[in-house]
């Protein structure tokens, strides 16, 4: 059992229920196992696997990429129980659970000393036509259907469209470009973006690098353009300034129009949920579904989710002990790197102004992904 400062275990280990087994939930599970293997931990998640969504784009390189790890395997490794269910809640429910110290799922009563909510962000379902592909389709078994549809585009002149020039859209754009190049498919590729540039949330250097690589690959860029819908190969778009509608031809349209802002649970700097003005001392939140009132980063990234998940687990253990001295969340983003196909990447490290691209960025991206793999193997290399 690894040493945790300011944690003096009580005689009875805590009963913990974690809702959501993504990046934050898994980081918490590993932390409990490390510092208090006797804690009675239950994970509730409607999926049967932990889903490594940061690898999703790699399925274009290798459809057999392992992006899922069964909770059954992880449960044996880290000594928790998995309940396959969805938990619905609002502020009132949380207040009640704080009093009752149990929740009931499908008639099953689950008592807890502490509850950790790590439900992430909902993936929007956009696809209304079989020519439109969204994250939901790419995430599941239907991925093979998507590859089938791409392969079936026999007319090499029919363009393929990617909607959304944020990090997700850009990562997929370059993977699709690579897939087309490997398969010697001449279909033109275009990117549609609502704002006037790509990656607008980052320093301009990142957007500039990506635009120059897009130009080298011959990707057409349509800025200030809004996706309206698609019927058959008819893609409807609207020009933002004029409101004018245009029809374009698109054999297949990949839509990455951002995340749905699901419920953001406000917490204090220690990770405890605050509903209205009420502090719920036994309910914590971590990951994309949480918003901490602290100096730490609330970015919706895997690195913040992991740091919040680990912090919540440490603070739950400390709260369950006699001292109750908890640690505030202070994590700052250490960087962000996005891949531009198998051999290139772009991002920043340390400071936003410190832009890295090419092989060093690919190495950093692989290192970050390897850290998560190691965590899932029970080796915690996240020093900060
Ligand atoms: C395509 C894509 C690529 C990305 N790439 C990167 C990247 O390269 N680097 C990076 O830092 N970030 C990346 N991100 C963001 C990153 O994936 C998220 O910030 C991270 O997954 C958040 O972790 P989380 O634990 O909060 O949520 P998630 O990892 O989304 O996990 C949430 C879990 O909760 C479960 N759940 C949801 N609702 C309920 C419910 N009601 N009841 C029970 N369980 C529920 C879900 O099944 C899921 O298992 C990417 C996101 C996407 C969509």
What is the overall mean pLDDT for the chain? 92
With a 6 Å cutoff on the Cβ, whether 288 touches ligand 1 is yes
Tell the residue nearest (CA) to atom 38 of ligand 1: 119
Q: Where are the alpha helices (DSSP H) in 232-341?
A: 302-320
- Over residues 152-180, the mean pLDDT reads 94
Predicted structure pTM score: 0.94
With a 6 Å cutoff on the Cβ, whether 25 touches ligand 1 is yes
What is the distance between the alpha carbons of residues 152 and 176, in angstroms, rounded to a whole number? 15
CB 159 within 8 A of CB 190: yes
**Which atom of ligand 1 lies at the shortest distance from residue 259's CA?**
53
Tell the residue nearest (CA) to atom 53 of ligand 1: 53
Same fold, 15-122+260-332 and 132-255: yes
Q: In b/e form, how buried is each residue of 157-191, taking b as 16+ CB within 10 angstroms?
A: eebbbbbbbbbbbbbbbbbbbbbbeeeeeebebbb
With a 6 Å cutoff on the Cβ, whether 23 touches ligand 1 is yes
CATH superfamily of this structure's domain 15-122+260-332? FAD/NAD(P)-binding domain (3.50.50.60)
- Over residues 274-289, the mean pLDDT reads 97
Share of the chain above pLDDT 90, in %: 79
Tell the residue nearest (CA) to atom 29 of ligand 1: 22
**Which atom of ligand 1 lies at the shortest distance from residue 365's CA?**
8
pLDDT in tens, 197-233: 999 999 999 999 999 999 999 999 999 999 999 999 9
CB 116 within 8 A of CB 316: yes
**Which atom of ligand 1 lies at the shortest distance from residue 286's CA?**
26
Tell the residue nearest (CA) to atom 31 of ligand 1: 22
Boundaries of every domain in the chain = 15-122+260-332, 132-255, 334-384
Whole-number Å distance, alpha carbon 245 to ligand 1 midpoint, is 34
Residues 6+ apart with CB under 8 A from 277: none
What topology does CATH give the domain 132-255?
A: FAD/NAD(P)-binding domain (3.50.50)
What is the distance between the alpha carbons of residues 136 and 340, in angstroms, rounded to a whole number? 21
Pocket probe mutation, ligand 1, options 46, 53, 368, max atoms within 8 Å of Cβ: 53
**Which atom of ligand 1 lies at the shortest distance from residue 89's CA?**
41
Confidence at residue 6, expressed as pLDDT on a 0 to 100 scale: 76
- Over residues 245-258, the mean pLDDT reads 92
Tell the residue nearest (CA) to atom 35 of ligand 1: 20
Q: What is the dihedral of CA 144, 149, 151, 153, to 10 degrees?
A: -170
- Over residues 345-362, the mean pLDDT reads 93
Tokens representing residue 352 in the block:
């936003």
With a 6 Å cutoff on the Cβ, whether 44 touches ligand 1 is yes
Per-residue CA distances from 30 to 13, 65, 105, 141, 311 (Å): 16, 23, 24, 28, 12
């Amino acid at each position: 059992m690894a040493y945790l400062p300011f944690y003096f275990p009580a005689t009875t280990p805590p009963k913990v229920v974690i809702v959501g087994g993504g990046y934050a939930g898994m980081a918490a599970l590993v932390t409990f196992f490390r510092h208090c293997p006797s804690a009675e931990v239950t994970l509730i998640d409607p999926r049967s696997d932990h889903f490594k969504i940061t690898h999703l784009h790699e399925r274009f390189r290798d459809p057999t990429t392992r992006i899922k790890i069964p909770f059954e395997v992880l449960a044996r490794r880290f000594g928790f129980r998995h309940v396959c269910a969805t938990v619905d809640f609002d502020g009132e429910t949380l207040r009640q659970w704080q009093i009752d110290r149990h929740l009931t799922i499908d008639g099953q009563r689950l008592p807890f000393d502490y509850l950790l909510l790590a439900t992430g962000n909902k993936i929007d379902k956009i696809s209304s036509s079989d020519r439109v592909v969204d994250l939901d389709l790419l995430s599941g078994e239907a991925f093979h259907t998507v590859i089938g549809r791409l392969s079936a585009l026999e007319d090499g002149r029919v363009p393929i469209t990617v909607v959304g020039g944020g990090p997700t859209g850009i990562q997929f754009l370059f993977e699709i470009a690579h897939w087309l190049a490997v398969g010697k498919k001449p279909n033109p590729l275009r990117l549609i973006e609502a704002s006037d540039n790509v990656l607008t949330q980052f320093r301009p250097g990142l957007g500039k690098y990506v635009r120059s690589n897009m130009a080298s690959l011959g990707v057409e860029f349509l800025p200030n353009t809004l996706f309206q819908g698609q019927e058959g190969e008819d893609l409807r778009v609207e020009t933002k300034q004029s409101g004018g509608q245009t029809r374009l031809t698109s054999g297949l349209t990949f839509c990455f129009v951002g995340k749905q802002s699901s419920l953001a649970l406000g917490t204090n700097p220690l990770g405890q949920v605050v509903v209205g003005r009420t502090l719920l001392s036994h309910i914590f939140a971590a990951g994309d579904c949480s918003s901490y009132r602290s100096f730490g980063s609330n970015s919706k990234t895997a690195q913040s989710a992991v740091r919040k998940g680990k912090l919540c687990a440490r603070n739950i253990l400390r709260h369950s002990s006699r001292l109750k001295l908890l640690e505030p969340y202070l994590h700052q983003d250490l960087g962000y790197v996005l891949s531009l196909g198998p051999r290139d990447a772009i991002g920043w490290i340390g400071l936003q102004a410190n832009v890295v691209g090419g092989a060093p960025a690919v190495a950093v991206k692989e290192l970050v992904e390897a850290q998560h793999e190691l965590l899932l193997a029970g080796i915690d290399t996240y020093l900060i």
